[in-house]
């Protein structure tokens, strides 16, 4: 008799009917499969361990030879499949490749994957309701039980559940086989997404009468009036064959676990139906949840009919918010700005795998920068992220989609939007509706439909769905389609009128003022701000507000002087000032809090795998931007020196030193010698809020009459102090004083040769991961900025290396292996506990250096087959570069073009940086650059010929120097004689005394751009 699904077959949406076909057994019979007993304890049982996984096709979503056609069949032989624990991301385990991928995915592959979980269940489960719940699968999950399709769920970022009641074997002997098919067709996202069951899975066991999934909604309606009212709406499901009258009891406990209030009501539920029971109780003198003191209460709900049939818990907090169109945001009646960041749902070398400790580490980094808010760009978050935020005191803007009906890449969510968006946005709201951290619901990000005729109707449907579930929070969206005031009746205008507020992405000060004036009843904030790009430890052209990019292979990086901007972006300082000066602006969300895999603007070439937008790099190591925002978002005394390197400079070289500080007075000291005291001016906004800023014009806004961003109070200054310091080795110190007393200092010390590796570890949260930072140091323990030896990590005890990262955006190797080169002297290893007692000892070594060792505690939360368990060492083997250059201005003027025999091509340092909304285009000749030739083995040479191009853009160098690489470093050649070519492309000959070397370098000074079409060497 065919199985007839009940109305509760799918508890989160079903896409396909169940299949009933019986598949023939594969080579190995079902009774030969492992049959692990599943220890079902309580209402929820974790299904993280013991999965089998097969990557059927990493380069497509088909099964070309049919090997996996029967993979859902319980008799299918999966003994050759890998054993994995979930959460699991198969993409991060693969080596990056420039073939068949793109920069959006970080050059990682996706494809087709299968998971299987075999388990037995005891007879005690007979007659009970059993469902399986997934927090997220990337993507288009098809879920099977014993060969029958339960249904599918396309969206990767929302949870879903299937009812297994009546389908399971509960005799304690017969195995149940849960199978999941997942696909990641490329391109399916604009950034790295990961692939597979990357969030948690659980089995839920209840009585037929129980609290429905997401069936508790806690609100606190009278907090602003000083009353601690708790309203609990409980959806009670009755899956029995008869009506039931049940008592619903709710107990509120305070942050210390003490009972604060109780409520009880009675509800009658018809057979096969769900009814809502409401209890209202009062808590005296409630402790408010805030970003400073995130106090959590808990509601425990019991459904009782003669006995307790079900018990659930839900955490919540007492707090109230206001988003006022003129006065800005307030929490619990206290005015505040949203000091937010955007974060994609990845964790560096862990890929998309969700781990509580990794999330906590990431968000504690954000807290240290002064962050109080997070936008879940651009999708619903994992439950663990919500839990971390509500425990750390971080406000959440929870976002639904990156597109609606009109897509951005070929295989993104637009294909499923019409059929699934209502269910998915409802799931988003239900999953996080009780969290006090959640203050905003967003219906989308930069959706093209916002400027299309159908957009207003789509928005109306999404808004209605959200408000139908939760009328207590504002509904907004983030958009780049409001940089000018919309025309009346336009799609943008009609959508904005439906929203409570709007997040704007990359608006000028003038454009956000225009929106505020046109829509005085709406509130505005910056859902994406700045997007300046930087590389930790890289610095270029501090006197320019925008810089060109270096396209030389191996040197693809961007400047950390807050001065590398794409055409749509702004400096961090501009974004901070714009938000600061507008009381009506609720705040901002910096793009981005941390570098993430994929979307490597401004480069689009392998192996540049990660973004440059983060205030911290992908390894979690802070960049200078972190300290810029920290200086504006925190109040404790701090001072920071930029550049973070007082080693790799030439003697006498003028170094631009920037100082960020929360203190108005800073003295700079070099080797005990004062270089002077500088001060920020103390200023106030027009509504009376104090801030620090220089009186020196910033020159950062071509739209303002002054040429600088101008505050409403007339201020045009900068958020950093500046010195120009001729380099000399030693110690550079910034000393911040208040009232004549030192309150903070930062120090840079010139490093000597590398001697050792030292390790430090961050405290681990509740998950399985610990983060260990390796630093290459000199004899005095100073980090050596130029040191990039290959570090090898090893573990003793109940742990393993789950991944490694150095924060370098241009890196060909993968992350889940035990070795990685240091980058600017540092790298990070993620150490996963495998469960069990005893400490975990981590060692990092490198050739010629003393190794470093550290011990971190083990934890029973560990996974034996989690991230890194199947790591294969794939060392990065950089291709030999016969030609190199300090700087290449464009992707088609790389050093290799000097060797191709074509005088129409060549290396050049010429660049044009596009204008931005506030800055003009930039194209300024570089004062000095070098090119070089190298050979696998040393050779003898006495002359170099360079063909310089002379035209309206390029000229001849003012001077050249030649040096050869030796065991002692670079040494100048002797008796250099230069014979200049007379015209464009005529050879210029550089002759010198014969030298034997593996590499020769020509350093050129110039007042014009340079281009060399051919470069050769001879004896």
| Beta bridge mates, 115 | 53, 180
Task: State the Cα–Cα distance between residues 985 and 988, nearest whole angstrom.
Answer: 9
Beta strand segments in 625-704, E: 639-642, 654-661, 665-670, 673-679, 681-684, 690-693
pLDDT tens, 438-466? 999 999 999 999 999 999 999 999 999 99
pLDDT tens, 835-859? 888 899 999 999 999 999 999 988 8
pLDDT tens, 886-916? 999 999 999 999 999 999 999 999 999 999 9
- Average pLDDT of the residues in 990-1006: 96
Q: How many CB atoms lie within 10 A of CB 920?
A: 11
Task: State the Cα–Cα distance between residues 556 and 808, nearest whole angstrom.
Answer: 9
Catalytic choice (133, 528, 532, 599): 528
Q: Measuring CA to CA, how many Å separate 493 from each of 58, 502, 507, 510? A: 44, 11, 16, 18
- According to DSSP, the β-strands at 475-479 and 501-505 are parallel
Question: Pick the residue with more confidence: 871 or 844?
Answer: 844
Residues 6 or more apart in contact with residue 514 via CB below 8 angstroms: 484, 485
pLDDT tens, 82-108? 999 999 999 999 999 999 999 999 999
Is the pLDDT assigned to residue 661 strictly greater than 90? yes
What is residue 760's predicted lDDT score, i.e. its pLDDT?
A: 96
What is residue 309's predicted lDDT score, i.e. its pLDDT?
A: 97
Output the CA torsion sign for 75, 78, 83, 84.
Answer: negative
pLDDT tens, 132-166? 999 999 999 999 999 999 999 999 999 999 999 99
Residues 6 or more apart in contact with residue 489 via CB below 8 angstroms: none
What is the SS3 assignment for 935?
Answer: strand
pLDDT bracket for residue 28 (50, 70, 90) = very low
Residues 6 or more apart in contact with residue 195 via CB below 8 angstroms: 89, 90, 91, 110, 111, 113, 138, 139, 182, 184, 352
Is 528 catalytic? The answer is: yes
pLDDT tens, 234-262? 999 999 999 999 999 999 999 999 999 99
- According to DSSP, the β-strands at 839-845 and 852-857 are antiparallel
Residue in 597, 616, 612 with CA at minimum distance from that of residue 102: 597
Q: How far is CA 771 from the centre of its chain?
A: 16
- Average pLDDT of the residues in 36-40: 78
pLDDT bracket for residue 36 (50, 70, 90) = low
Task: State the Cα–Cα distance between residues 1010 and 908, nearest whole angstrom.
Answer: 6
Residue 581, φ and ψ in degrees, nearest 5: -85, -5
pLDDT tens, 162-215? 999 999 999 999 999 999 999 999 999 999 999 999 999 999 999 999 999 999
What is the SS3 assignment for 499?
Answer: coil
What is residue 890's predicted lDDT score, i.e. its pLDDT?
A: 97
Task: State the Cα–Cα distance between residues 826 and 820, nearest whole angstrom.
Answer: 10
Residue in 648, 886, 657, 619 with CA at minimum distance from that of residue 785: 648
- According to DSSP, the β-strands at 839-845 and 790-796 are antiparallel
Is the pLDDT assigned to residue 396 strictly greater than 60? yes
Helix count (H) and strand count (E) of the chain? Answer: 9, 53
pLDDT bracket for residue 682 (50, 70, 90) = very high
Is the pLDDT assigned to residue 701 strictly greater than 90? yes
Residue 922, φ and ψ in degrees, nearest 5: -125, 135
Q: Residue 489: is it exposed, middle or buried by C-beta count within 10 angstroms (0-12/13-18/19+)? A: exposed
pLDDT bracket for residue 6 (50, 70, 90) = very low
Residue in 141, 144, 92 with CA at minimum distance from that of residue 113: 141
pLDDT bracket for residue 34 (50, 70, 90) = very low
- According to DSSP, the β-strands at 373-376 and 395-399 are parallel
| Mean pLDDT, rounded, of the chain | 93
Q: How many CB atoms lie within 10 A of CB 781?
A: 12
Tokens of 209: 């009468």
What is the SS3 assignment for 209?
Answer: strand
Catalytic choice (390, 446, 599, 667): 446
pLDDT bracket for residue 22 (50, 70, 90) = very low
Q: How many CB atoms lie within 10 A of CB 723?
A: 18
What is residue 362's predicted lDDT score, i.e. its pLDDT?
A: 97
What is residue 3's predicted lDDT score, i.e. its pLDDT?
A: 30
Is the pLDDT assigned to residue 10 strictly greater than 60? no
Task: State the Cα–Cα distance between residues 718 and 342, nearest whole angstrom.
Answer: 24
Is 664:680 a contact under the CB 8 Å cutoff?
yes
Which residue bears the tokens 């900025």? 785
What is the SS3 assignment for 601?
Answer: coil
- Average pLDDT of the residues in 935-960: 95
Q: What pTM was estimated for this model as a whole?
A: 0.93
Is 413:407 a contact under the CB 8 Å cutoff?
yes
Q: How far is CA 216 from the centre of its chain?
A: 31
Q: How far is CA 717 from the centre of its chain?
A: 31
What is residue 768's predicted lDDT score, i.e. its pLDDT?
A: 82
What is residue 872's predicted lDDT score, i.e. its pLDDT?
A: 80
- According to DSSP, the β-strands at 769-777 and 756-761 are antiparallel
- Average pLDDT of the residues in 355-360: 94
Alpha-helix residue ranges (DSSP H) falling in 705-767: none
Task: State the Cα–Cα distance between residues 536 and 555, nearest whole angstrom.
Answer: 13
Alpha-helix residue ranges (DSSP H) falling in 369-450: 383-392, 417-432
């Amino acid at each position: 008799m065919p199985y007839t699904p009940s109305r509760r077959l799918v508890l989160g949406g079903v896409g396909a009917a169940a299949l009933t076909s019986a598949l023939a057994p594969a080579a190995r019979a079902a009774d030969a499969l492992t049959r692990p007993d599943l220890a079902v304890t309580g209402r929820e049982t974790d299904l993280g361990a013991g999965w089998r996984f097969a990557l059927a096709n990493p380069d497509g979503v088909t099964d070309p030879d049919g090997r996996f056609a029967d993979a859902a069949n319980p008799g299918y032989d999966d003994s050759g499949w890998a054993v994995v624990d979930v959460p699991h991301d198969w993409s991060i385990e693969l080596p990056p490749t420039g073939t068949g991928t793109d920069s959006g995915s970080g050059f990682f592959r996706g494809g087709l994957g299968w998971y299987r979980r075999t388990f037995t269940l005891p007879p005690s489960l007979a007659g009970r309701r059993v469902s399986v719940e997934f927090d997220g699968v990337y993507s288009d999950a098809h879920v099977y039980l014993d060969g029958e399709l339960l249904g599918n769920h396309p969206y990767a970022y929302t949870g879903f559940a299937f009812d297994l009641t009546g389908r399971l074997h509960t005799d304690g002997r017969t195995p149940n086989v849960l199978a999941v098919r997942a696909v990641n067709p490329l391109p399916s996202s604009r950034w790295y997404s990961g692939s597979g069951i990357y969030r948690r899975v659980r089995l839920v066991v209840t009585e037929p009468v129980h609290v429905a999934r997401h069936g508790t909604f806690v609100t606190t309606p009278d907090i602003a009036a000083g009353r601690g009212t708790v309203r609990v709406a409980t959806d009670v499901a009755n899956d029995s064959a008869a009506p039931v009258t049940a008592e619903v009891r709710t107990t509120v406990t305070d942050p210390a676990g003490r009972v604060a209030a109780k409520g009880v009501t009675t509800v009658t539920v018809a057979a096969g139906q769900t009814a809502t029971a409401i209890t209202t109780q009062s808590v005296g003198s409630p402790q408010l949840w805030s970003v400073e003191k995130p106090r959590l209460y808990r509601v425990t709900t019991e459904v009782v009919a003669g006995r307790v049939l079900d018990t659930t818990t839900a955490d919540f907090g007492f707090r109230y918010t206001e988003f006022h169109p003129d006065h800005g945001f307030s929490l619990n009646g206290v005015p505040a700005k949203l000091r937010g960041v955007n974060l994609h749902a990845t964790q560096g070398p862990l890929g998309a795998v969700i781990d509580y400790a990794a999330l906590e580490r990431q968000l504690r980094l954000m807290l240290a920068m002064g962050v109080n808010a997070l936008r879940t760009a651009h999708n619903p978050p994992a439950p663990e992220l919500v839990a971390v935020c509500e425990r750390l005191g971080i406000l959440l803007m929870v976002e639904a989609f990156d597109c609606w009906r009109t897509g951005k890449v070929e295989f993104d969510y637009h294909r499923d939007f019409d059929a699934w968006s209502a269910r998915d946005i409802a799931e988003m709201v239900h999953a996080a509706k009780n969290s006090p951290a959640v203050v905003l619901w967003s219906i989308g990000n930069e959706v093209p439909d916002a400027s299309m005729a159908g957009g207003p109707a789509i928005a109306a449907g999404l808004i209605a769905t959200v408000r139908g579930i939760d009328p207590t929070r504002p509904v907004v969206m983030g958009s780049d389609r409001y940089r000018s005031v919309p025309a009346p009746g336009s799609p943008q205008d009609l959508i904005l009128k439906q929203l409570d507020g709007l997040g704007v992405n990359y608006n000028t000060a003038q454009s956000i003022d225009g929106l505020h004036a046109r829509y005085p009843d709406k509130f505005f904030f910056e859902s994406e701000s700045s997007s300046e790009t930087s590389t930790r430890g890289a610095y270029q052209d501090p006197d320019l507000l925008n810089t060109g990019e270096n396209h030389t292979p191996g040197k693809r990086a961007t400047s950390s002087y807050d001065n590398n901007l794409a055409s749509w972006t702004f400096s961090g300082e501009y974004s901070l000032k714009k938000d600061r000066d507008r009381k009506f602006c609720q705040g901002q969300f910096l793009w981005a809090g941390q570098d993430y895999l994929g979307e490597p603007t401004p480069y689009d070439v392998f192996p540049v795998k990660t973004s440059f937008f983060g205030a911290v790099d992908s390894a979690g190591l802070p960049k200078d931007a972190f300290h810029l925002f920290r200086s504006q978002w925190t109040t404790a005394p701090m001072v920071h020196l930029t550049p973070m390197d007082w080693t790799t400079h030439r003697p006498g070289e003028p170094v631009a030193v920037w100082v960020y500080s929360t203190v108005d007075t800073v003295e700079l000291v070099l080797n005990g010698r004062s270089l002077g005291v500088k001060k920020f001016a103390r200023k106030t906004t027009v509504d009376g809020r104090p801030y620090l800023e220089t009186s020196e014009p910033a020159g950062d806004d071509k739209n303002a009459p002054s040429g600088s961003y101008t505050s409403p109070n007339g201020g045009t200054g900068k958020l950093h102090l500046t010195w120009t310091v001729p380099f000399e080795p030693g110690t550079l110190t910034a000393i911040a004083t208040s009232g004549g007393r030192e309150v903070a200092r930062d120090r840079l010390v010139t490093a000597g040769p590398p001697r050792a590796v030292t390790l430090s570890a961050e405290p681990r949260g509740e998950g399985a991961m610990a983060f260990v930072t390796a630093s290459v140091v000199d004899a005095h323990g100073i980090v050596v900025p130029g040191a990039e030896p290959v570090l090898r990590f090893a573990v003793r005890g109940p742990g393993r290396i789950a991944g490694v990262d150095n924060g370098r955006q241009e890196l060909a190797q993968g992350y889940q292996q035990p070795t990685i080169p240091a980058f600017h002297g540092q790298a990070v290893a993620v150490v996963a506990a495998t469960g069990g007692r005893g400490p975990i000892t981590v060692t990092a070594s490198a050739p010629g250096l003393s190794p470093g060792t550290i011990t971190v505690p083990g934890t029973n939360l560990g996974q034996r087959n989690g991230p890194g368990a199947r790591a294969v060492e794939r060392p990065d083997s950089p291709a030999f570069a016969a030609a190199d250059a300090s700087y290449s201005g464009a992707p088609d003027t790389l050093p290799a073009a000097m060797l191709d025999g074509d005088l129409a091509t060549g290396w050049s340092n010429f660049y044009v940086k596009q204008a931005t909304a506030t800055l003009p285009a930039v194209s300024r000749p570089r004062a000095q650059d070098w090119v070089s030739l190298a050979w696998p083995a040393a050779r003898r040479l006495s002359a170099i010929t360079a063909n310089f191009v002379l035209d309206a853009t390029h000229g001849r160098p003012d001077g050249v120097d030649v040096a050869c690489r030796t065991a002692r470093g670079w040494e100048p050649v002797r008796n250099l004689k230069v014979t200049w070519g007379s015209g464009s492309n005529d050879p210029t000959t550089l002759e010198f005394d014969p030298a034997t070397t593996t590499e020769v370098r020509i350093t050129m000074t110039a007042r014009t751009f340079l281009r060399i079409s051919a470069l050769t060497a001879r004896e």
